[in-house]
Structure 1
Amino acid sequence: MSRYRKRLPQLDGRLFLADAGLETVLSFQQDFELPFFASFVLLRNARGREALRNYFEGFARMAQAHRAGLVLETPTWRANPDWGQKLGYKALALADANREAVALVAGVRAAYDSPATPIVVSGNLGPRGDGYRIEHRMSVAAAHDYHLAQIATFSGTEADMVAAFTMTYPDEAIGIVDAAAACEMPVAISFTLEVNGRLPSGDALSEAILRTDAETGSYAAYYMVNCLHPSHLAPALTGSGAWRERLHGLRANASRRSHAELDEATELDAGDPDALGEDYLALRQVLPRMNVVGGCCGTDERHVAAIAQRLGARPARAVPS
C-alpha cells in the first residue's frame, strides 16, 4: 500500500532530493542500449534490474547522508501505449512493466525509508510524443483518455503519486491531471522549456501553470520544470505572480545546450556539477518553495550531491494545510 498518498511529505517544505539523468547514465556511462530512450525495458532481465536497483540505491544513500527526503521516479517515462507498441509491448505486458517498475523502486524504499529520509514512490509518466518537439497535439479529453490506463495501473500499486515529466504543451498536462484526479492519485506536472524560457508550444510557463490550475481546480500537488539548464528558466521568471508558489521542483540538465543541440549530440555533456549547484542556490532566492531537486539529462550523483550541499541548510517554505 502507498505510505504517503494522503499527504505528500514534500509539501511540508523540507529538502527532497530526486535522482538524476537515468537514461543518460545508463546509456552513456553504463553502455546499456535503450531503444527509444526507454529504460523500463531493462526490467526484462536480471542484469537490467540490478542496474536500475543500484542506480536508485545510490540516491537513497545520498539522501540518508544529507538527512533529506527523496522522491524516486519509476523508470517508466516511455511506458505508455505509443512507445510501448514501438517496443513490442501489448497492453497487458505494458501494465505489468509499470507494476514491476513500482515494485523495484518500492523495494529500495523498504530498505532505506526512515523518519529522517522519507522516500516517496512516484509513478513516472512521459509525453505521448517526443519530449523535445510537438509532433501531434492532443485535446485535453484525448490526453486524459491516452494516459488514463497508465495512471490507473499506478493507482493499484505502492506508488504514492504520479508525475508527468517533459510536458511540452498545456493540453496534455491538463488531461493528465484530469486522469489523475479520476484515479484519486496525487500528481505533479513538470514542463520543459526552450532556451527562451517558453514551452516548445510557445506558451509562457506562467500561462501553462495558471491555465492548468484553472481548468483542473488546482488539483495538481505542485509543478516542476525539467530537461533544461537553469539559465533557460531565468527568462520565465522575469514577471511576478502567485504562480511561482506552485513551482516546487527543478530537475535540470547539466548542459546549456538547446533541445535541438542535445538531440544531435553524440557525446555526453556533463557540464560542471558545482556550477549547477550554485545555479540551484540562486534560483531558490526567486522560487521560495523549490524543494524537490534533482537532475535530468547529463547529470549523475555528482550533480545531485552538489545541489544537496548548496540547498541542505536552506529549507523551502511549506504549503499550508
Structure 2
Amino acid sequence: MDFTATLEKCRVMLTEGAVAERLRRRKDIELHPTLFNTPLVNNDYGRQCMREIYRQYREIARRAQVPSLLCAPTWRVNIERLEAAGQSTELNRDAVFFMQQLKDEWQDETSPLFVGGLIGPRNDCYKPDEALSIEEAEQFHSWQLHKLAAAGVDVVICQTFPAVSEAIGVIRACASIGVPCIMSCVINRRGLVLDQTDLAEAVRIMDEASGNSPLGYMVNCVHPTFVLPEKQPPELFRRLIGIQANASSLDHEDLDGSAVLMQSDMQEWGELMLELNTTYGMKILGGCCGTDEKYLGYISSRIKS
C-alpha cells in the first residue's frame, strides 16, 4: 500500500505515543546516552521490550480500523553521533529492518501499517540558536536520509525541529534523495516555532523554499493547546496535517529532563486532539512526552464510537 495515497484519502491516521521515554523509566533497560533506544534493536531483550510498546500502539489503531504509522527509532542516529559512540554505521538500516519485520507480521487490510524513519535536528531541539543553516542542514542530514531511503521507509518524519532554517535544509535533502517527508516543528504556547517564527508563516516559508515538497507539516513535543487553532488562518490547516502531543501542558523548560512523569488531564487532552482532527482536519494523531497506550486508546475509542 502507498503511504501518500492512504494519507490523502483517510480521515485519521494513528501514530505512536512515547517510546524512548517509557523505556527510560524502566529499571531493566538502559538507554544509550546519545543514541537513546536505537541500539536496543540489536539486543534480544531490547527488541522484546520495544516490540511490546509498538504492539500496544499498533493494536489501538487496528481495533479502530484506521491506518497506523510506526516509526523506526532513528531520531538522532546521524553519522556524527554514530562515530562518536563507536556504533555501526548501519544502525539506521537495522532499526528500519526491525520495524519492517513488525510491519510484515502485523499488516492488516482494514488498518494498513506503514513504517516511518525518524530524523531530528543536529543539536538541542529546544535551542533554536544551535540550529543549522539551510546549506549546513542539507549537507549534514543527507547521510542519514540516504540510509533511511535505502532501507525502504515509507516516509521520513522530521521531528522536533526548532528553527525554520534547519527544517528547510532537511526538506530539500529529502526532495533531492526522492524520499517523501513530513516536517514536524516544536512550537511554544504562543503558536510560534522556537526560533520565534509564527507557525503559519513558517509553513509558508518552508513551502516556498522547497516547492511544496513535504507531504505536509506536523508539530510535536507540545500540548495540543499550543496550536491555538481558533487563532490560526484557515489556510494553515491545508498543510498542517498532524500532531504528536505531550501529555502535559507545561512549557518545554519545565518538562525537559524532569525526573517526574508530567501528565495533564487525559480526557481533556484527548478531546483537544479529536477537535484538531474533526474541526481542523489534522489527520495524524499521536503522543509524545508523558503519553502511553492509554492516551492513544482514548482517541481510538472515540474515533470508533
TM-score range, shorter chain: over 0.9
CA distance change for structure 1 residues 32 and 270 in 2, over 3 Å: closer, same or farther?
A: farther
Name the % identity.
29
Using the alignment, how far apart are the partners of 2:123 and 2:303 within structure 1? 34
- Looking at structure 2, the residues matched to 23 and 298 of structure 1 have their Cα atoms a distance apart, in angstroms, of 11
The one of 56, 65, 74 aligned to 1:58:
56
The letter of the residue matching 1:21 is A
Q: Deviations over 1:46-70 (max 9, x none)?
A: 1111112222122222211111110
CA–CA distance in structure 1, aligned partners of residues 166 and 160 of structure 2: 11
Task: Find the aligned partners of 2:104 and 2:219 in 1 and give their Cα distance.
Answer: 28
Q: Which of 299, 304, 307 is the equivalent residue of 2:291?
A: 299
- Is the 8 Å Cα contact of residues 188 and 222 (structure 2) preserved in structure 1? yes
**Mapped pair 1:77 → 2:75:** yes
For CA contacts below 8 A with separation 6 or more, give which structure has more relative contact order: 1
- One-letter amino acid of the structure 2 residue matched with residue 276 of structure 1: W
Q: For 1:218 and 1:146, how far apart are their aligned partners in 2?
A: 21
Does the aligned pair in 2 maintain the 1:247–1:287 contact within 8 Å? no
User: Residue 32 of structure 1 aligns to which amino acid in structure 2?
Assistant: I
Residues 37 and 195 of structure 1, relative CA distance in 2, 3 Å threshold: farther
2:295 partner letter: H
Q: Does 1:13 align with 2:10?
A: yes
- CA shift, 1:30, in A, is 5.8
Matches within 5 A, 1:233-252: 233-234=227-228, 238-252=231-245
Partners in 2 of 1:282 and 1:31 — Cα distance? 38
1:106 is the counterpart of 2:103: no
Q: CA deviation at 1:84?
A: 2.8
Choose from 133, 140, 149 the match for 2:134. Answer: 140
In 2: Cα distance, 1:174 partner to 1:70 partner: 27
The amino acid of 2:8's aligned partner reads: L
Which residue of 2 is the match for residue 209 of structure 1?
203
Q: Distance in 2 between matches of 1:81 and 1:176?
A: 15
The alpha-carbon distance between structure 1 residues 151 and 42, as it changes in their structure 2 partners (threshold 3 A), is same
Distance 1:88 1:285 in 2: 46
Q: TM-score, normalised by structure 1?
A: 0.89
Aligned residue in 2 for 1:28: 25
Report the CA distance between 1:285 and its aligned residue.
Answer: 4.8
- Code of the residue aligned with 2:36 in structure 1: it is A
Residues 100/185 of structure 1: CA separation in 2 closer, same or farther (3 Å cut): same
Q: Unpaired runs of 5+ in structure 1? A: 314-321
Q: CA deviation at 1:270?
A: 3.0
CA distance in 2, matches of 1:120, 1:80: 22
Query: 1: distance between equivalents of 2:28 and 2:272?
Result: 29
Deviation digits for residues 273-304 of structure 1 (CA, Å, limit 9, x no counterpart): 2221111122235422x111110011010001
| 1:107, distance to aligned residue in structure 2 (A) | 1.0
- Scaled by the length of structure 2, the TM-score of the pair is 0.94
Alignment deviations for residues 127-162 of structure 1 (CA, whole Å, 9 cap, x no partner) = 111112224232211101111111111111231111
Residues 216/293 of structure 1: CA separation in 2 closer, same or farther (3 Å cut): same
1: CA distance, partners of 2:11 / 2:234: 23
Q: Which moved more, 1:129-138 or 1:182-191?
A: 129-138
Identify the match of residue 262 of structure 2 among 256, 266, 269.
Answer: 269
Q: 1:251 to 1:312 in 2, by over 3 A?
A: farther
Q: Which segment drifts farther, 77-86 or 40-49?
A: 77-86
The 8 Å contact of residues 122 and 131 in structure 2, kept in 1 or not, is answered as no
Does the 8 A contact of 1:53 with 1:104 survive in 2? no
* CA shift for structure 1 position 240: 1.4
Q: How many residue pairs get matched?
A: 304
- 1:259: which partner in 2? 252
Q: In 1, Cα distance between the equivalents of 2:49 and 2:143?
A: 27
Structure 2, unaligned runs of 5 or more: none
Deviation per CA, 1:67-91: give whole Å up to 9, x if none.
11101111111211333344333xx
Contact 1:277 1:303 in 2 (8 A): yes
* Distance in 1 between residues matched to 2:119 and 2:61, nearest whole Å: 23
Q: Shift in Å at residue 228 of structure 1? A: 0.4
